[in-house]
Amino acid sequence: RRMPLSEEKNGACDGSIYVNNPHLDSMKDDILYHFNLGTSTHDLPAMFGDVKFVCVGGSPWRMRSFTEYIAKELGLSEPNAEFPNICEGTDRYAMYKVGPVLSVSHGMGIPSISIMLHELIKLLYHAHCTDVTVMRIGTSGGIGLKPGTVVVTKQSVDSVFQPRFEQIILGKPVVRSTELDAELAEELLQCGKDLAEFETVIGNTMCTLDFYEGQARLDGAFCSYSEEDKQSYLAEAYAAGVRNIEMESSVFAAMCKLSNLRAAVVCVTLLDRLKGDQMTSSHDILHNYQQRPQVLVGHYIKKKLNAYKKS
């Protein structure tokens, strides 16, 4: 089952999870430090071998609520069942599982999700998982969209609207593709149409290194540009097909592609950045918006599992 893979290569078609690291096989033990799990302390194939869908999102509370939701949708839990946090020994990430669905929080920003994905990919590899689909369900700022619109990412682009992620290795930049699964994105868009509960669109997603200056916000502790500069930057982004802005999609796309994981990014827009920078909607409205990616992805998983049962 273990494959020696010494060079960067992208997805083959046999459904296996790749770790692109020849050193791993010579390690007696692998400690997944930020999950508080390890190959010598946990039976990872028994715990995770049946995982087919992994949903990730920034907030630990949201990932717990997603697990409760999906358990109900799939008819896999008693009412009011409690789901233990599999990473309860650490406060870095939270992880929940119900049936074939694993749910993991990743914090905010590229470095935080990158640590989680390194350990998640190794976990899926050690657990001998196959045919896994990974979906990020998150929040974002929209550009020219009605708040509450769900954006399924076509391409994740950087601050100059290019579909690439730059990884620094030994002090030197290595550029990686941020291509996502186009078929999966179309299937998710179709789920949005099936549901007809909220607007769902496909568009490019800009992934930035921070929330304030990197997203041209005027309300941070520092701001050296004008409202006009902001509007002109967001207009350029819109012209490049960008419909929303968040902080994790580029490294998520790059790492999933390197690991042969089918991947999608599904984010709701909490506001229209052309009209403002602050999150002024009520708590209830924002809470409702945040459930939309969960509902969309939940519908997709249910549809897939039903199709699988029938086949």
Radius of gyration of the chain (CA): 19
| Number of shown-chain residues binding a second copy (CB under 8 A) | 71
210 is an interface residue for a second copy by CB under 8 A: yes
Closer by beta carbon to a second copy, 54 or else 216: 216
| Contact by Cβ (8 Å): 249, 265 | yes
The only residue of 259, 260, 290, 294 in contact with a second copy, by rule CB under 8 A:
259
Residue in 147, 238, 239, 152 with CA at minimum distance from that of residue 195: 152
In angstroms, give the least distance from the CB of 72 to a second copy.
22
200-207/101-105 β-pairing: unpaired
Torsions phi, psi for 16 (to 5 deg): -80, 155
2 is in an annotated binding site: no
- Give alpha helix (H) positions in 53-109: 60-73
The only residue of 15, 43, 88, 111 in contact with a second copy, by rule CB under 8 A:
111
136 is in an annotated binding site: yes
13 is an interface residue for a second copy by CB under 8 A: no
Closer by beta carbon to a second copy, 191 or else 206: 206
Residue in 169, 242, 255, 258 with CA at minimum distance from that of residue 207: 242
In angstroms, give the least distance from the CB of 309 to a second copy.
32
Place of tokens 């620094």: 168
In angstroms, give the least distance from the CB of 60 to a second copy.
6
By CB under 8 A, the residues from 65 to 104 that bind a second copy are: 91-92
Torsions phi, psi for 288 (to 5 deg): -60, -45
Among 49-57, 78-86, 226-234, 295-303, the segment contacting a second copy (CB under 8 A)? 226-234
| Contact by Cβ (8 Å): 230, 218 | yes
Place of tokens 């657990």: 127
In angstroms, give the least distance from the CB of 296 to a second copy.
22
By CB under 8 A, the residues from 123 to 142 that bind a second copy are: 125
Query: What is the rounded CA–CA span in Å between residue 276 and residue 127?
Result: 45
Asked whether the CA dihedral 285, 291, 295, 297 is positive or negative, the reply is: positive
Among 96-104, 141-149, 179-187, 215-223, the segment contacting a second copy (CB under 8 A)? 215-223
169 is in an annotated binding site: no
Closer by beta carbon to a second copy, 122 or else 299: 122
Tokens of 147: 């708040």
Q: Where are the beta strands (DSSP E) in 106-199?
A: 133-142, 150-157, 164-169, 172-177
| Contact by Cβ (8 Å): 266, 133 | no
59 is an interface residue for a second copy by CB under 8 A: yes
By CB under 8 A, the residues from 28 to 57 that bind a second copy are: 29-31, 33-34
The only residue of 77, 85, 130, 167 in contact with a second copy, by rule CB under 8 A:
167
Binding mask 266-295 for a second copy (x = CB under 8 A): ------------xxx---------------
Among 72-80, 191-199, 225-233, 296-304, the segment contacting a second copy (CB under 8 A)? 225-233
Tokens of 30: 């692998």
